[in-house]
Amino acid sequence: MKVVVGLGNPGRQYERTRHNIGFDVLSQLADWHGVAGFKSQFEALVGEFSLGGDKVLLVAPQTFMNLSGRSVTAVTKFYKLPASDVMVVCDDMNLPLGRLRLRGSGSAGGQKGLQDILQKLGTQDVPRLRMGVGRPPAGFAVADYVLSRFRDHESDSVSQAVQNAARGVECWVEQGLEIAMNQVNAPE
């Protein structure tokens, strides 16, 4: 079994914001794989499908971003999964809009949801797919920026990044981390 955790904040007011791009990737995967619905479990919305002989659990924590580790810990304990079977998909202001970076381990790099997951799991060896949302313009507070919606001129880049991220997740499930890293991190 593989677990794909998309990070974001619950509630309609946060839909389609920069901080919720992880939820958007889960939605893309759910659409592609015919996930009929998500159920409430593990303080998250959870859906599932099969891919390449593996069961894939889509997990959208509903605890708000900074407490995402509670959901992820509950899932890994229930299914007795190692952290290496969990892929966290999150936004990253340090990457240009639309740029993806897949790693198998490392620090949270300032992403509070990822930081909580690493802390609660007690390891930095958690695969993560960071999705670039760009830096805030001058005079724009960081919190306001990540909670803002993408602008119209950014929509094509965001849509393409979400699809590329979903393909990267599928590659990770079917072919493993190294091959997925080569696919996702390839220069454009």
Token digits of residue 66: 């900074």
Residue 104, classed as helix, strand or coil, is coil
Residue 56, classed as helix, strand or coil, is strand
Q: How far is CA 114 from CA 36, 71, 107, in A?
A: 27, 12, 9
CA angle, 53 as apex, 48 and 55 as ends, to 5°? Answer: 20
Nearest to 73 by CA among 172, 5, 1: 5
Token look-up 């605890």 returns 63
Nearest to 68 by CA among 140, 147, 6: 6
Active-site residue (options: 19, 99, 128, 130): 19
Residue 33 designated active-site: no
Catalytic residue numbers read 19
